[in-house]
Amino acid sequence: MTTVKGPAIFLAQFIGDTAPYNSLESICQWAAGLGFKGVQLPTGDPRFIDLQKAAESKTYADEIKGIVNAAGLEITELSTHLQGQLVAVNPVYDDLFDGFAPEQFRKNPKARQEWAVQQLKYAAKASQNLGLNASVTFSGALLWPMLYPWPQRPAGIVETAFTELGKRWTPILDVYEEHGIDLCYEIHAGEDLHDGITFEMFLDKVNGHKRANLLYDPSHFVLQCLDYIEYIDLYHERIKMFHVKDAEFNPTGRQGVYGGYQNWIDRAGRFRSLGDGQVDFKTIFSKLAQYDFKGWAVLEWECALKHPEDGAREGAQFIKDHIIRVTERAFDDFAASGADDVLNRKTLGI
């Protein structure tokens, strides 16, 4: 068994325009001061990493790694959530998702998608240059507007959408295979890959591609009322990354899963800072130890109530307290009888 690495922190929700959140060096010093051991880097802000440059220059990648290491931290993974979203966009969302791409690609879905695909490919090579073994992304969504449709979905549209999704992602996954990187999809509301069944459907369309893997985040499953513990039993062989994020679901007689179009603070289901929600992290960390998870425990902070600085500080200690240092021997070794094959056969009468 392997002890889970951590605590680490996903920087996306903390990046800002004031110190210490406005440069890679200062934000890493801040994270280290809170007790984190690793940082997961978003790749859309060149103040923190120039993705293309990191892919094309090993020297530059070493410089980025050196800045992080100088703070006593490691880079855990690169994130391409926003770029991955643009690999597959239903036209109803074109204007809304244009903001995820550089200005020169807006109002041009084809060019925007081509840019996003190239970004994913850069992330594969950049990850290799940084000495990483996994990266996280979103799948994008062609079908999300038809999740609970009225009128009913046209016959065959789900099959058509997943076939297209597989067609778009297979060449990207092949690039990740070339560079030895697992591409982990964060299973998330708003994505065509939002639960176990949809991941299985996708996996079928990419022919079980070995690099198509999972980021496990139980908070998204609490909000779906999905069994997030059994999910680990079902998919542990594909779980290569882990976001430690809490959530709660408190349905009332007035609203449930869909949330009544309310803001986050007023929804029945909402994300919370670690320890303030309902996720059973003791069982989760036990399951991950049982299945020999070899990755990082990465805090993703999202909470409608608590200040992010408090969430980060408390989250570092929360993860540290939940990581199980796995045993190197069986607890009952002291009672071993020292039997050998001869005695075993004699005991069995054979």
Would you state the structure tokens that stand for residue 225, as one six-digit string?
């009322």
**Phi, psi angle pair for 146, to nearest 5°:** -110, 20
- Percent of the chain predicted with pLDDT > 70: 98
Instruction: Please determine, for residue 167, whether its predicted confidence score (pLDDT) is greater than 90.
Output: yes
Spatial distance between the Cα atoms of 324 and 308, rounded to a whole number of angstroms: 26
The answer, yes or no, to whether residue 331 has pLDDT greater than 70, is: no
Nearest to 291 by CA among 231, 204, 202: 231
pLDDT tens-place string over residues 277-318: 999 999 999 999 999 999 999 999 999 999 999 999 999 999
138-165 burial by CB neighbour count: b if 16+ within 10 A, else e? bbbbbbbebeeeeeeeeeeebeebbeeb
281 closest CA partner among 348, 187, 216: 216
Residue 332: pLDDT over 80 = no
Structure confidence at residue 336 (pLDDT): 72
Largest Cα–Cα distance of the chain, in whole Å?
A: 80
Query: Binning pLDDT at 50, 70 and 90, where does residue 21 land?
Result: very high
More confidently predicted of 345 and 232: 232
Round the average pLDDT of the chain to a whole number and report it: 96
Burial of 118 (0-12, 13-18, 19+ CB in 10 A): middle
Q: Give the number of C-alpha atoms closer than 13 A to the C-alpha of residue 293, restricted to the C-beta side.
A: 29
Handedness of CA 84, 85, 91, 97 (dihedral sign): negative
Per-residue confidence band for 263, with pLDDT thresholds at 50, 70 and 90: very high
CA pair distance 216, 221, nearest whole angstrom? 10
294 vs 4: CA distance, rounded Å: 6
What is the structure's pLDDT at 286? 98
Quote the tokens at residue 218.
Answer: 């139980």
Helix (H) or strand (E) holding 247: strand 246-249
| pLDDT at residue 327, as a whole number | 86
Structural contact between residues 163 and 205, judged by C-beta atoms closer than 8 angstroms: yes
Place of tokens 């050196």: 66
What gap in Å lies between CA 281 and CA 299, rounded to an integer?
Answer: 12
The pTM (predicted TM-score) of the whole model is 0.95
Which residues have C-beta within 8 Å of that of residue 318, sequence separation ≥ 6? 7, 244, 274, 275, 281
Residue type, 193: L
Encode pLDDT of 23-61 as tens digits: 999 999 999 999 999 999 999 999 999 999 999 999 999
pLDDT of residue 329: 75
Mean pLDDT of 164-186: 98
* C-alpha–C-alpha distance, residues 40 and 38, integer Å: 7
Average pLDDT over residues 122-146: 98
pLDDT of the residue at 339: 74
Answer whether residue 177 shows pLDDT above 80. yes
Measured in degrees and rounded to the nearest 5, phi and psi for residue 249 equal -130, 115
pLDDT given at position 335: 63
Q: What is the mean pLDDT of residues 180-197?
A: 98
Strands 269-272 and 246-249, bridge-based pairing: antiparallel
Q: What is the pLDDT of residue 334?
A: 63
Give phi and psi for 230, each to the nearest 5.
Answer: -60, -30
